[in-house]
Structure 1
Amino acid sequence: MYKVRTYNKISEKGLGLFDSERYNIGEGLESPDAFILRSQKLHDEAFPDSLLAIARAGAGVNNIPIPDCTEKGVVVFNTPGANANAVKELVVAGMLLASRDVYGGMNFVQSLTDMDDAGEMAKRLEAEKKRFAGGEIAGKTLGIVGLGAIGSMVANMGLELGMSVAGFDPALSVEAAWRLSSRVQKVDNLHALLKICDFVSLHIPANEHTRGLVDDEAFAAMKPGGCLINFAREEIVDPEALVKALDEGRLHRYVADFPRPELLGRPEAILMPHIGASTAEAEQNCAVMATRQLMDYLENGNITNSVNFPQTRMGRNGGWRITFANRNVPKVLGSVLSVLADRDINVIDMVNKSRGEIAYNIIDVESEPGPGALEAIAAAEGVIRLRVLPPKA
């Protein structure tokens, strides 16, 4: 029986997919095969030797020590796209709030507690409403930085709202390109995008290449009076450059899911408490995707949507299944195949994939590999983690 330790509150719609006859699910389980979590920080937690995989019910994995996991052969999954619609809808709300002073107008209405005459209130509102006038987003240009699962949905949504849409993504995948409307203008670099857009929405991860990406130079390149929307990661925007751009009036509005102390009280900053993916539907979608990916790995050795291992899938072809992770160096796979050949273990099918410094292999064999064969494979230079799965019932 597989044991899966849970952290945080995971949607029952996801956890309910685990077969109770094959899985033991719960908090604090000893010697778990896997973790499933949302925002639980694992950097200071000791991983048990039994741990094979971690499934993050969400896109960001800042709370997981990825290099340590890779070194131990622990596969880390996330759920890209599962919360995309929730974030897309909040981006729409952010653009509307930035275009028209809805929030200011609502606060003004709520401040009229000294008035008890509806007619007088109507006159007051009619006289004051021009203070909260704004513009429409139709006809404006929306720029998307990052055209993945969320960015492509935001881009297509912008078109549906009557906006012109431009996008910049140097790592645009074929899959993402298929999701994207042909009416989205492709721009070659960030500064070229910033120059032409009234709204710019960020949808990229935080890494060594993107931290502080929106800096003084980027703000200087922006179309004056533009609006920056950040529902991606706080670290992408340089905070000092942001405050300077707001102080100088170059940036009309900053809409973000990541409040900072220096932004509080500023009417140009529309800040939300990190609620981009906080919908019941998104939490369910993330939990279902995380659960399915985890089950497929534990039962079949297949890897989908891992942040540290290559995507590797192979249908079950009968027989026993050997999976192993190794350092991406020459001769490892050859050494393993030699072990099998020396013991007359026939290979039915196999797949080998690599990602950076790590490689992953799935090998289906006709007969059960004995302890001697498994010990020899585990001892092969470069092998990090070895598993054997019995034939599917």
Structure 2
Amino acid sequence: MGRKVLATPRSFGTGSQGAADLLARRGFDLRLNPYGRILTKAEMIREIRDAEAVIVGVDPLDQEVLSQAERLKLISKYGVGTDNIDAAYAAQRGIRITTTVGANTEAVADYAFTLMLAAARRVIPIDRACRGGDWTKTLTVDVHGSTLGLIGLGHIGKAVARRAKGFDMKIMAYDHLRDEDFAVRHGITYVDTLQTLIEQADFVSLHLPLNEHTRHLIGPREFETMKETAVLINTARGGLIDETAMLEALKAGRIWGAGLDVFEREPPDLEDLHTLDNLVIGSHCAASTRHAVENMGMMAVRNVIQHLCGEEG
């Protein structure tokens, strides 16, 4: 039996056997997620116990889990967000953490723009009405020529900005780390405060990590000062938004709509999510395209081979 590598993402290897074959050729024993969903802590402890590496999505890897993984040497993140990993404890144990930066950038940017269009133009309720025989015209809001506010201008934020230029959108960005050259080349205006962006943007799209400084970054005060025609988009992490405040704003019509692919708890247990026509929801699937899944799988596996075998994959 080879050295065990646990892969928990449900999409791992679904488009191609290339990543799995690469591990097999290096003598690794690949174990896939047997549950067909995000693992619980108890399940994760059981599955990771004898693994040397784990290729992980959003499954829990806190100190309690990692303390039971005595052979673990590498956490190969299938994506870029590491808020589900206790990085400090991993470092204390000498466990390396790698990510697949860039592997799913274009797929997530596509989905962010899809949510933007769907929420602005009420695509889902219009489709539902038409299927029921109701062909009433629905008045919606424009995307073309409107103002897009990007909170976070990293790889994915930049990819969304490039798409927005095709819609002649005015783009503003809020980010502590500024890429002035990119901003100048793409006509993006940096703002000094989050509140400025919130007040002026027609569309607010989140592209930043979840940590102690960004949790509930968008809360009651932000919803009170957004435009009534504003649309909020989140393909980053659910905890960035105070979901209770968001639902209140959507129900009261204080903002036009929202498109969310991520939630604080997945699946979410908020009943109003299923009844609001001004909300479009996804199952954390922005990166789930054939190309992105293959990219993430191959990059995650190459990280395993590089760090456990000392060679390129």
What TM bracket, shorter-length normalisation?
A: 0.7 to 0.9
**Based on CA coordinates, which of the two structures has the bigger radius of gyration?**
1
2:144 alignment counterpart? 138
Whether 1:147 and 2:157 are equivalent positions in the alignment is no
Partners in 2 of 1:249 and 1:39 — Cα distance?
A: 32
Between the two proteins, the alignment pairs up a number of residues equal to 284
SS of 2:18's partner is: helix
Match status 1:33 vs 2:37? no
1:69 and 2:90 aligned: yes
Q: Output one character per residue of 1:39-82: Cα deviation in whole Å (capped at 9) or x when no partner.
A: 44333434444322110212223433322211101011122321
Of the structure 1 ranges 66-75 and 292-301, higher mean CA displacement relative to structure 2 is found in 292-301
Higher RCO, 1 vs 2 (CA within 8 Å, ≥6 residues apart): 2
Residue in structure 1 matching 2:116, options 95, 113, 120? 95
| 1:291 CA displacement | 1.7
CA distance in 1, matches of 2:49, 2:275: 47
Paired residue secondary structure (1:82)? coil
Task: Pick closer, same or farther for the CA change 1:229–1:30 going to 2, 3 Å.
Answer: closer
Question: Match of 1:216, as an amino acid?
Answer: P
How far apart are 1:18 and its partner, in Å? 3.4
CA distance in 2, matches of 1:201, 1:80: 19
Identity %: 29
Pair 48,106 (structure 1): closer, same or farther in 2 beyond 3 Å:
closer
Match of 1:166 among 157, 166, 172: 172
TM-superposed deviation, 1:204:
1.0
Q: Quote the offset at 1:235 in angstroms.
A: 0.9
1:301 Cα deviation from its structure 2 partner: 8.8
Write 1 or 2 for the structure with the bigger share of strand: 1
Are residues 263 and 181 of structure 1, via their aligned partners in 2, closer, same or farther at CA, if it must alter by over 3 Å?
Answer: farther
1:3 equivalent to 2:3? Answer: yes
2:77 corresponds, among 56, 68, 76, to: 56
- Paired with 1:140 and 1:173, the residues of 2 have a C-alpha distance of 23
- 2:130 is aligned, of 83, 94, 109, to 109
CA distance in 2, matches of 1:99, 1:286: 30
Aligned residue number for residue 198 of structure 1:
202
- In structure 1, distance between residues paired with 2:91 and 2:303: 18
Following the alignment from structure 2 to structure 1, what is the Cα–Cα distance between the partners of residues 301 and 154? Answer: 22
Question: What does 1:238-277 align with in structure 2 at a 5 Å threshold?
Answer: 238-257=242-261, 258=263, 259=268, 260-277=270-287
Contact 2:48 2:54 in 1 (8 A): no
Structure 1 residue identity aligned to 2:84: N
Q: Tell me if structure 2 keeps the 8 A contact 1:4–1:33.
A: yes
Q: Which moved more, 1:257-266 or 1:228-237?
A: 257-266
Query: What's the counterpart of residue 43 of structure 2?
Result: none
In the other structure, the counterpart of 1:223 is: 227
Deviations 1:89-127 (A, max 9, x none): 111211111221222221122113xxxxxxxxxxx74xx
CA distance in 1, matches of 2:211, 2:153: 16
Residue 155 of structure 1 and its aligned partner are, at CA, apart by 1.1
SS at 2:284 equivalent: coil
* Gap change, CA 1:133 and 1:143, over 3 Å in 2: same
TM-score, normalised to structure 2, is 0.81
User: What is the aligned-residue RMSD (CA, Å)?
Assistant: 2.7
Q: Does 1:17 align with 2:22?
A: yes
User: Following the alignment from structure 1 to structure 2, what is the Cα–Cα distance between the partners of residues 135 and 30?
Assistant: 52
Instruction: Tell me: CA distance 1:15–1:215, structure 2 relative to 1, closer, same or farther (3 Å).
Output: same
The answer to whether 1:83 aligns with 2:83 is no
